[in-house]
Amino acid sequence: MPEPLCYEDIKLIAHVIARDQAVATRKLLTGSNILSVPGLATVLLPSEKGRRCDTCHRLQTDERVLRRCTGCASYWYCDAKCQNTQWRSHHKRICKIYNQFISSPQFQALQAHEKMDSLLLSHMVAQMSATTFPLPTEDDSSQLSTFVSLLPGPIENVVPPPICPISPMPSKELLSALYSRFGNNNFVVHSHLTTFGHGVFPLASRLFNHSCVPNAAAKYTLSPAKTVNMEVIALRDILPDEEICLPYLDPALLQSRHQMFELTYGFKCNCSSCIFLRNLGRMPEPPKDPLEISTLSKQLREYVGIEEHIGLILPSPSMEAISHSLLPVLHESYMGELSETFSRSSHEGQYAIALDVGITLLALYILIYPSNYPQIGMHLLELAKTRWNEAISSDVRGDEETVMKEQVRVFLTFARRVLMVLGPEGDEYGPLQEIQTLEDLLNQ
Ligand SMILES: C[S@@+](CC[C@H](N)C(=O)[O-])C[C@H]1O[C@@H](n2cnc3c(N)ncnc32)[C@H](O)[C@@H]1O
């Protein structure tokens, strides 16, 4: 057996159900970088191809126009450095055959997510040395051997999708061993909460179990000529010996997540939120009547204490203590409806409606997500922009302008406070820069 994994701030110890768990070896402060790992393999969403470099995944800009691989014309790079990095890593083994493969009937017959898996598996295999076929050995400390040491998903004998042919082809045994670990171990790679690809980060998969009330979150950083880097950040102070968990799924999937855990990950989540929701049973649906909707929204805001606290600190209410009449806010459709109304009304310039619904949505986020969860920070920024747009569209002056500026400032202060915990990530000109730009405008 390989040596137990141990890092400066974390160590792996046994877990009753999930084999192992990563616990803190000392107190980790909010915002600490717990782990930083490069991706073993990544793949872009089809919609991102040609918009992002296939190596470093940075977006094309006016100054950095992507250039295509002259061999296949299907991979795009920032420059020769990015191209060379990927050429050496795996592209040289698939360049000639890539177009024929993706236009083949067997590839075309795959569903969208299977196509992503097929290309991710192709990238992974093409960068393996033929000497590691059929299986990497256990004493090898490479990322690949960590990957094959991961727990496989719950479905037995899962058939891998076809992969881009390379020479020599890996054994069926190796492909099955790799693919059986895709569903429950791989990550969605995102920038400021927008997904742009999928990736394999074996060490992070080996270390972190799931919780719907996670104390850490993953972010991705993009640097020239490098593969995407995953960083795991503490969302709050983590005590010595406390387990460090990531959210595998959006904690807002209050009802549908239970089935996804069982089908995709093969476990029943026993976090405090899941136990509470399971004990409640069927969740009452949110009302349809406008008056009842407005009463529910008022009640939620009062429970969370959003109005009183927004000027001081963000509240941290307990979901488990809510009254029976508030339960419909925990129906998954409630957040969906609030988000849709918020986006639609702010897009259509109905700023007063957007702000009203947006504050209720903020209360719901605060109730459901753990402290410093990035969704809360991003939403606070959206509220600041909505309030700002409302003011400039109505050309306010005098006291009204002062009040408006103060409200925008409060939203921005909280947005920064939350988003600073995760810190800079993803694409250039992200929310932290947007906050700065708005603050500069306010100070003019
Ligand atoms: C990414 S791996 C986690 C690493 C794993 N602890 C190990 O020892 O390699 C994902 C798998 O761990 C298990 N797992 C993760 N979180 C869990 C949880 N909260 N409860 C039970 N099992 C969990 C499930 O089997 C899941 O498919």
Q: Point out the ligand 1 atom lying closest to the alpha carbon of residue 22.
A: 6
In this structure, are residues 216 and 246 in contact, taking their beta carbons and an 8 Å threshold? yes
Distance, CA of 91 to CA of 88 (rounded, Å): 7
Q: Which of 1, 187, 264, 267 to mutate to test the pocket of ligand 1 (most atoms within 8 A of CB)?
A: 267
Distances (CA, A) of 199 to 39, 40, 43, 196: 6, 8, 6, 10
The full set of domains in the chain, from first to last, is: 40-200 (no CATH), 284-443 (1.25.40)
Closest CA to 330 of 249, 255, 248: 255
Handedness of CA 165, 264, 235, 430 (dihedral sign): positive
Residue nearest to atom 13 of ligand 1 (CA): 18
**What is the residue-level pLDDT of the chain in tens, covering all 444 positions?**
334 455 789 999 999 999 999 999 999 999 999 999 999 999 999 999 999 999 999 999 999 999 999 999 999 999 999 999 999 999 999 999 999 999 999 999 999 999 999 999 999 999 887 666 656 665 566 888 889 899 999 999 899 999 999 988 999 999 999 999 999 999 999 999 999 999 999 999 999 999 999 999 999 999 999 999 999 999 999 999 999 999 999 999 999 999 999 999 999 999 999 999 999 989 999 999 999 999 999 999 999 998 765 666 788 899 999 999 999 999 999 999 999 999 999 999 999 999 999 999 999 999 999 999 999 999 999 999 999 998 888 877 888 888 888 999 999 999 999 999 999 999 999 999 999 999 999 998
Q: Which of 265, 273, 275 to mutate to test the pocket of ligand 1 (most atoms within 8 A of CB)?
A: 265
Ligand 1 center to 117 CA (angstroms): 20
What ipTM, to 2 d.p.?
A: 0.99
> C-alpha angle with apex 117: 115 to 119, nearest 5 degrees?
70
Ligand 1 center to 51 CA (angstroms): 34
Closest CA to 358 of 328, 330, 378, 332: 378
Ligand 1 center to 37 CA (angstroms): 19
Ligand 1 center to 410 CA (angstroms): 39
Residue with tokens 């949110």: 286
Q: Point out the ligand 1 atom lying closest to the alpha carbon of residue 21.
A: 6
Q: Which of 150, 209, 273 to mutate to test the pocket of ligand 1 (most atoms within 8 A of CB)?
A: 209
Residue nearest to atom 23 of ligand 1 (CA): 18
* pLDDT value for 283: 96
Q: Point out the ligand 1 atom lying closest to the alpha carbon of residue 15.
A: 6
Distance, CA of 250 to CA of 178 (rounded, Å): 25
Residue nearest to atom 19 of ligand 1 (CA): 210
* pLDDT value for 3: 44
* pLDDT value for 137: 62
End-to-end CA distance of the chain: 63
* pLDDT value for 152: 95
Q: Point out the ligand 1 atom lying closest to the alpha carbon of residue 154.
A: 27
List residues near ligand 1 (CB under 6 A): 15, 17-20, 150-151, 184-185, 205-206, 209-210, 265-267, 269
Q: Point out the ligand 1 atom lying closest to the alpha carbon of residue 149.
A: 9
- Across 132-141, b (16+ Cβ under 10 Å) vs e yields beebbeeeee
Residue nearest to atom 3 of ligand 1 (CA): 209
Ligand 1 center to 310 CA (angstroms): 37
Ligand 1 center to 245 CA (angstroms): 10
Entry pTM: 0.95
Q: Point out the ligand 1 atom lying closest to the alpha carbon of residue 271.
A: 19
Residue nearest to atom 4 of ligand 1 (CA): 206
Bridging pattern class, strands 33-38 and 245-246: unpaired
* pLDDT value for 34: 96
* pLDDT value for 1: 36
* pLDDT value for 311: 65
In this structure, are residues 199 and 219 in contact, taking their beta carbons and an 8 Å threshold? no
Distance, CA of 189 to CA of 170 (rounded, Å): 27
What residues have CB less than 8 Å from 11, skipping those under 6 apart? 4, 5, 22, 23, 25
Closest CA to 66 of 56, 146, 244: 56
* pLDDT value for 309: 58
Ligand 1 center to 209 CA (angstroms): 5
Distances (CA, A) of 128 to 55, 181, 441: 17, 17, 51
In this structure, are residues 252 and 332 in contact, taking their beta carbons and an 8 Å threshold? yes
What residues have CB less than 8 Å from 94, skipping those under 6 apart? 101, 122, 123, 126, 164, 166
